[in-house]
């Protein structure tokens, strides 16, 4: 469904009325069309700011240079030059006095970051701080970055925070490329922990990042799943698109566009896990990427919810995922270095009226990836969840008008996301370069106000 407010705000004939009524005027967000580039920052103005005693700046510098830019250390005071990407090493901020660096760096930049710009702050993990004050300072940076995202979001600028310990500095490059790249269009206000729990893959390609990989995306006849299948194929993966037999026509069409293989199956059928195991063993000898995207809503207040609505949502959104993983992991169909991504939801983060069943399953997935990650680390497998906010799909088209409109506007970017935006985050988590991130749930919600 199209965003009427955006259409009116962009039309010169109606833009004045939108302004007079004081309605939000959402900025046109930049989005990538193609796949990753080897040097995505080439031609961009990048600023790398350092805090005193920080330990991440050299790694950040190397990552930025490898991505094609020679970063500035400061902007010229009297110039009107805009900066596209700001990266700050705030790992040295261990006291209130040290944190003055946040003000000193960003205050002069507030009017100088370009539309659709990117901000990435890198801080020390609060739970590894030497003392309580250092832990508080590191935690304070979370509040700062989230507030900054709210101030800058009106210009389509995203602000994210990566917490990295010294032993995981070599894992920063992937995060820098994603969070400072055009692909982070709808990801803002997030705090991502980068750890050393998963060993580095043998090769770390940044362009054609998934060449040679076999990927399964469930529920990929439409919506986020379809966009994800498309995105993974763009990075060179051989994709298998799975959906229910009732969606066969749409599934075949999606597959023919990207050279994917269709697989008609209900993931909640008791035989689904074994069928999948046999399919991937026979056809490809294994599986590298598993995106658990298929999901349903059956909304009712709990008082009015029939038991089959509860059971159906729990079976598809949660039980089927656990059952499939159990077999694919036990039979080692999921290869060393595999990537698993589950689709959670803001409803799982914050709960939602009329969605006790759905919120239960989506919160369960947040707990599931956190618990599985350490168990799978020795096999080089990363497992994460993404929590979409309001993404324009058939699922959100079904919402009542007022709820849909509220969902679209209640975020820092004042608009809904596109399936491609969620697909970008999923694709990033599927790449070899995301090996520093496991057990996390990252929101793709334009920094939604709900559950923030």
Write the DSSP symbol of residue 316: I
User: Is-catalytic flag, 358?
Assistant: yes
Does residue 215 sit in helix, strand or coil? strand
Q: Point out the catalytic residue in the list 230, 309, 358, 368.
A: 358
The verdict on 105 binding ligand NAD (CB under 6 A) reads no
The verdict on 241 binding ligand NAD (CB under 6 A) reads no
Alpha helices in 161-221 (DSSP H): 172-179
The verdict on 316 binding ligand NAD (CB under 6 A) reads yes
Nearer to ligand NAD, 47 or 294 (CB): 294
Decide: 214 and 286 in contact? Cβ < 8 Å.
yes
**What angle, 0 to 180 degrees and rounded to 10, lies between the N-to-C axes of helices 248-258 and 223-234?**
20
Decide: 289 and 213 in contact? Cβ < 8 Å.
yes
The verdict on 219 binding ligand NAD (CB under 6 A) reads yes
DSSP letter string, 93-127? --STTTTHHHHHHHGGGTTTEEEEEEEEEEE--GG
For residues 408 to 447, the per-residue mask of contacts with ligand NAD, x marking binding by CB under 6 A and - elsewhere, is ----------------------------------------
Decide: 443 and 389 in contact? Cβ < 8 Å.
yes
Choosing from 9, 184, 260, 267, the residue that interacts with ligand NAD (CB under 6 A) is: 267
Nearer to ligand NAD, 262 or 388 (CB): 388
Rounded distance between C-alpha atoms, residue 431 and residue 212, angstroms: 12
Choosing from 26, 54, 189, 225, the residue that interacts with ligand NAD (CB under 6 A) is: 225
Rounded distance between C-alpha atoms, residue 430 and residue 383, angstroms: 9
The verdict on 295 binding ligand NAD (CB under 6 A) reads yes
| Smallest gap from residue 445 Cβ to ligand NAD (A) | 8
Q: What is the torsion angle, in degrees rounded to the nearest 10, for the CA atoms of residue 281, residue 282, residue 288 and residue 294?
A: -90
Choosing from 343, 364, 366, 381, the residue that interacts with ligand NAD (CB under 6 A) is: 343
Sheet strands (E) in 214-280: 214-218, 238-243, 261-264
Nearest to 411 by CA among 421, 397, 398: 421
Choosing from 296, 370, 406, 450, the residue that interacts with ligand NAD (CB under 6 A) is: 296
Among 111-119, 131-139, 178-186, 292-300, the segment contacting ligand NAD (CB under 6 A): 292-300
Span 369-408, contacts to ligand NAD by CB under 6 A: 388, 390-391, 393-396
> How many chain residues interact with ligand NAD (CB under 6 A)?
28
Residues that bind ligand NAD (CB under 6 A): 218-219, 221-225, 242-244, 247, 266-268, 293-296, 316, 343, 345, 388, 390-391, 393-396
Active site residues: 358
């Amino acid at each position: 469904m199209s965003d009427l407010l955006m259409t009116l705000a962009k039309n010169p004939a109606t833009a004045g009325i939108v302004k007079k009524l004081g309605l939000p005027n959402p900025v046109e967000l930049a989005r990538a069309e193609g796949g990753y580039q080897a040097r995505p920052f080439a031609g961009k103005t990048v600023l790398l700011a350092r805090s005193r005693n920080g330990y991440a700046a050299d790694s950040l510098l190397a990552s930025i240079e490898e991505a094609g830019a020679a970063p500035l250390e400061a902007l010229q005071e009297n110039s009107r030059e805009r900066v596209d990407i700001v990266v700050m090493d705030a790992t040295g901020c261990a006291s209130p006095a040290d944190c003055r660096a946040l003000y000193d760096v960003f205050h002069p930049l507030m009017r100088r970051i370009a539309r659709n710009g990117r901000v990435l702050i890198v801080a020390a993990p609060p739970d590894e701080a030497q003392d309580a004050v250092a832990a508080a300072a590191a935690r304070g940076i979370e509040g700062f970055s989230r507030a900054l995202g709210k101030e800058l979001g009106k210009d389509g600028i995203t602000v994210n925070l990566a917490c990295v310990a010294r032993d995981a500095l070599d894992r920063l490059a992937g995060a820098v490329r994603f969070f400072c790249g055009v692909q982070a269009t709808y990801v803002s206000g997030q705090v991502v922990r980068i750890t050393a729990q998963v060993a580095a893959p043998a090769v770390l390609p940044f362009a054609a990042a998934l060449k040679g990989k076999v990927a399964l995306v469930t529920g990929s006849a439409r919506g986020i799943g379809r966009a994800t299948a498309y995105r993974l194929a763009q990075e060179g993966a051989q994709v298998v698109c799975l959906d229910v037999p009732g969606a066969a026509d749409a599934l075949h069409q999606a597959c023919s566009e990207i050279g994917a293989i269709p697989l008609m199956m209900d993931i909640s059928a008791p035989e689904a896990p074994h069928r999948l195991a046999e399919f991937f063993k026979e056809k490809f000898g294994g599986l590298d990427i598993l995106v658990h995207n298929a999901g349903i809503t059956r909304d009712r207040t709990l008082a009015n919810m029939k038991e089959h609505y509860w059971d159906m949502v729990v079976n598809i959104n949660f039980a089927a995922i656990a059952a499939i993983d159990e077999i694919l992991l036990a039979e080692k169909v999921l290869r060393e270095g595999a990537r698993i991504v589950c689709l959670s939801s803001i409803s799982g983060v914050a709960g939602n009226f009329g969605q006790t069943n759905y919120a239960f399953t989506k919160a369960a997935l947040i707990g599931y990836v956190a618990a599985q990650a350490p168990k799978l680390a020795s096999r080089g497998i990363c497992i994460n969840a993404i929590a979409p906010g309001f993404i324009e799909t058939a699922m959100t088209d079904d919402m009542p008008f007022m709820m849909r409109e509220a969902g679209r506007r209640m975020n820092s970017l004042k608009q809904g996301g596109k399936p491609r935006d969620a697909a970008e985050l999923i694709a990033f988590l599927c790449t070899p370069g995301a090996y520093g991130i496991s057990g996390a749930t990252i929101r793709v919600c334009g920094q939604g106000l709900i559950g923030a």
